[in-house]
């Protein structure tokens, strides 16, 4: 069964401290859903072409369905409610190749 991945790119983060409440709740929600942080939050980024050299977060789940369910979970919805007003990110759930 192919794994599932959350891929988040944060185009700009003007005030990283404003993400603290979200990060704490999101971390708990992801761990509770069986997700594993593979990259991000302080990791180095080298961007090419139209890429943005800002924070990228990569989280792995045992299946695509598990990744989708984690996003829809009550615990993650609670975390989303803590994102600051005007906050922007590119969030995707993708299926692994095998």
Give the tens place of pLDDT for each residue, 42-54: 778 888 888 777 7
CA–CA separation, 10 and 31 (whole Å): 21
Residue written as tokens 């859903």?
33
Task: Tell me which of 1.10.620.20, 3.30.70.100, 3.10.580.10, 3.90.550.10 is the CATH number of domain 4-95.
Answer: 3.30.70.100
Tokens of 37: 């942080």
- What pLDDT, on the 0 to 100 scale, is given for residue 96? 96
- Give me the residue spans of the domains in the chain: 4-95
Q: What is the pLDDT of residues 10-51, one digit of tens each?
A: 887 777 787 889 999 999 999 999 999 999 877 788 888 887
Rounded Cα gap, residues 3 and 5, in angstroms: 7
Instruction: Report residue 3 as tokens.
Output: 């794994």
Alpha-carbon torsion angle 62, 64, 67, 71, nearest 10: -170
Tens of pLDDT along 57-77? 999 999 999 999 999 999 999
Rounded to 5°, angle at Cα 62 from 23 and 32? 40
């Amino acid at each position: 069964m192919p794994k599932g991945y959350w891929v988040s790119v944060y185009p700009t983060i003007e005030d990283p401290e404003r993400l603290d409440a979200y990060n704490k709740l999101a971390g708990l929600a992801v761990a509770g859903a069986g997700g594993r942080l593979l990259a991000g939050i302080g990791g180095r980024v080298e961007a090419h072409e139209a890429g943005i050299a800002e924070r990228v977060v990569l989280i792995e789940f045992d299946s695509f369905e598990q990744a989708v369910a984690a996003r829809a979970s009550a615990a993650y919805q609670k975390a989303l409610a803590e994102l600051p007003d005007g906050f922007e990110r590119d969030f995707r759930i993708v299926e692994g190749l095998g």
